Structure 1
Amino acid sequence: MYEAHFGLKALPFSLTPDTEYFFSYADHQEALNVLLVALRMGEGFIKITGEVGTGKTLICRKLLNTLADEGMVTAYIPNPYLTPSALRHSLAEELGVDYPMNIGSHRALQRINKRLMTLKAEGRQVILLLDEAQALPEETLEAIRLLTNLETEKSKLLQVVLFGQPELDDHLERPSIRQLKQRITFTYAIHPLNTEGCRGYVQHRTRVAGHQGDALFKDKALDWLCKGSRGIPRLINILAHKSMLAAYGEGKSKVEKGHVRRAIDDTEGAAYRQRGVARLYQSLFRRQAVVAVRSRG
């Protein structure tokens, strides 16, 4: 919509977890480093937590790409709200195991174990990544623990990475799954971006999207963007996108404080949000109408 107006080749603040836009901010890069070090050491269980919108899924996707480049075998399950049987079936599919739904759990584990042994013999490491792990039912968490029992005398056949919201920590405190908690050897908590990180994040994404020259967001606009988003990347993306829409609607080449304030007022969950609905899109609609008239002329 506004790409040509701002000299962009793509939308810079899409909510899709595109690894091309991965921002090597200290907290996110450290989380990725912890994962890579732990996995290369052969650790069985690793846990990454963070509030909604702090970038866990993007880190997970970045990790998947890195592991693929290193020749590791990965099984990615984005929605783990599954029964134990469905989880085993999903894992089997990811590993290319022929697994009819009507076979029992013992035979299913035998087939998975055979495949893991084959991959181990080939010198290939297998890693199961579970996103939104706070949604895992207790019986499925226990099934995951049992999967990690598959091992040789010297190493695990399957490593597991759990990505989840802070509620995951609460679930792991339950006495009934204390055995799984004891197996988590590495853990890392992702935090929102600070002001410096927020500014760098915005500038990074606009540059990746093709913007050249002076900063697209004015300093005061960035200040309000950081305040309104509380440093949460998903909220930064939403507010930045809406701010750019507002600036485009007025024909402005830079995003100003007023555009961000209107985006904040228009966004649920944003800090400093005023009551009422901001007229964010009125100028945009006027701009589109002018463009349409000119094109017809």
Structure 2
Amino acid sequence: MYESFFGLSGKPFQLNPDPDFFYGSRGHKRAMAYLEYGLHQGEGFIVITGDVGAGKTTLVRNLLRRIPAETIIAAQIVSTQVDADDLLRLVAASFGLEHAGTQKAALLVQLEQHFRALHAEGRRALLVVDEAQNLSPRAVEELRMLSNFQVGTRSLVQSFLVGQPEFREIMQRPEMRQLKQRIIASYHLGPLDRAETQAYVEHRLRHVGWQENPAFIEAAFDSIFAHSGGVPRRINTLCDRTLLAAYLGELHRVTAEQVEEAAAELGEETGLQDVPPGVAAIAPGPASAYTVQFAPQDADRIAQLEDRVALLEASTSMTYGMLKKVLAALRARNARRVADEEPSE
């Protein structure tokens, strides 16, 4: 909506991960170096963790598009609450193999045959597992078993595990001991600092042809960093709303006050702006008249579902509020134009 007003060729702050917008902060460059090191080693597991919105998916997609297809066949899956057998089906599907109705033993044979065929062609398989914190211990064990596929001393498949910070805690459990022994590198992707936050914003703007319209004053970047905590996804959300407000106000300069107003609006609409990254805000409701006992794993799954519902509700509320403001601004602008065009008596 505001792109043409500011002379931009596209949306600079879209939320969907796009490797074309990859910004190499110190942390992201280091994480990329670990991934490339893992590729060079050609075995074991590489673990990358980071808060929600830290840029893990963009990082992985940036790596995947740089991988030479003639030497490495890469597949990516997003882990959800699936059991071990379903995980193997996801892996088979990601490599383009038939999996419907196939039993576990047959799946393992099929996967091994596929990996051996790749090896015979001079290629190897890379599996990227996103949202790895959702993996059950049994599912993790299946991934470890896949790493046993070898020809001589060479592994046929390598895995990158990408997840939220709690995955690091999961890895400390006794049942994860065998997998830990096969991790050759691990890195936690933290937030951007103040200077990187400004560089990140300017990098995304320049990618769509920004010519300093609108111009950001220095204090605006201070405010962006203060409200986003340096988390890329939160930066995108805040900057997108700030540019929308500037467009509606026909402004060509972004100030700290405008950023503050945008942050306040987002906070009112979602209730998420002042919550630490990766934590969903859920408003307390009335106590239930019934008490239900759940197993620990069921409670965890219910909590995750509640978080997702809260985020969906917040997103819907934010979109509705934004559309109301846009409609009101457009009506006001149209009214001014009609008034200007009316002939004077």
> Do the structures match in fold with TM over 0.5?
yes
2:330 corresponds to 1:288: yes
Q: Aligned partners of 1:295 and 1:68: how far apart in 2?
A: 58
Partner of 2:294: none
Instruction: Describe the superposition over 1:189-247 as per-residue Cα deviations: whole angstroms up to 9, x where unpaired.
Output: 10100001000000000011221246632211111001110100011001101111111
Which residue is 1:113 aligned to?
112
| Cα deviation code 1:31-68 (max 9, x no counterpart) | 11210121122131000011111111111111111125
- Quote the Cα distance in structure 2 between the aligned partners of 1:27 and 1:9: 28
TM-aligned CA deviation for residue 23 of structure 1: 0.5
- Determine the structure 2 residue equivalent to 1:211: 210
Matched letter for residue 17 of structure 1: P
Residue 7 in structure 1 maps to residue 49 in structure 2? no
1:134 corresponding residue in structure 2: 133
Amino acid at match of 2:31: A
Structure 1 CA distance, aligned partners of 2:209 and 2:47?
35
Shift in alpha-carbon separation, 1:39–1:290, aligned structure 2, 3 A: same
Please identify, of 233-242 and 173-182, the stretch whose mean Cα deviation from structure 2 is larger: 173-182
Q: In the alignment, residue 252 of structure 2 is paired with which amino acid? A: S
Residue 104 of structure 1, CA deviation:
2.6
Alignment of 1:105-254 (within 5 A): 105-213=104-212, 216-254=215-253
**What corresponds to 1:96 in structure 2?**
96
Contact 1:246–1:280 (CA under 8 A) maintained in structure 2: no
Q: Which sections of structure 2, spanning at least 5 residues, go unmatched?
A: 276-317
Unpaired runs of at least 5, structure 1: 273-277
Deviations 1:111-132 (A, max 9, x none): 1101100001111121000111
CA contact (8 A) 1:203 1:215 kept: no
Question: What is the TM-score when the length of structure 2 is the normalising length?
Answer: 0.79
* Matches of 1:288 and 1:84, distance apart in 2: 53
One-letter amino acid of the counterpart of residue 87, structure 2: L
Partners of 1:286 and 1:236 lie apart in 2 by 26
Letter in 1 for 2:108: L
Separation in structure 1 between the aligned mates of residue 142 and residue 325 of structure 2, nearest angstrom? 55
- Cα distance in 1 for partners of 2:325, 2:90 equals 48
* TM-score, L = length of structure 1: 0.91
Q: Distance in 2 between matches of 1:281 and 1:255?
A: 21
**Does the 8 Å CA contact 2:77/2:129 hold for their aligned counterparts?**
yes
In 1, Cα distance between equivalents of 2:15 and 2:330: 24
SS at structure 2 position matched to 1:60: helix
**Post-superposition offset of 1:172:** 1.1
State how far apart, in whole Å, the 1-side matches of 2:240 and 2:140 are. Answer: 38
Q: How does 1:32-51 map to 2 (within 5 A)?
A: 32-51=32-51
Q: 1:9 to 1:214 in 2, by over 3 A?
A: closer
The verdict on how the C-alpha distance between 1:19 and 1:125 changes in structure 2, with shifts beyond 3 A counting, is: same
RMSD after superposition: 2.5
The C-alpha deviation readout for 1:253-285, integer Å capped at 9, x for no partner, is 12111110012112333359xxxxx99888744
The alpha-carbon deviation at position 295 of structure 1 amounts to 8.2
Contact 1:248 1:284 in 2 (8 A): no
Matched letter for residue 256 of structure 1: T
- Opposite residue 33 of structure 1, the aligned amino acid is A
Give distance in 1, aligned partners of 2:80 and 2:40.
24
- State the Cα distance separating 1:15 from its structure 2 match: 0.3
Asked if the contact 1:48–1:189 (Cα under 8 Å) also holds between the matched residues in 2, the reply is yes
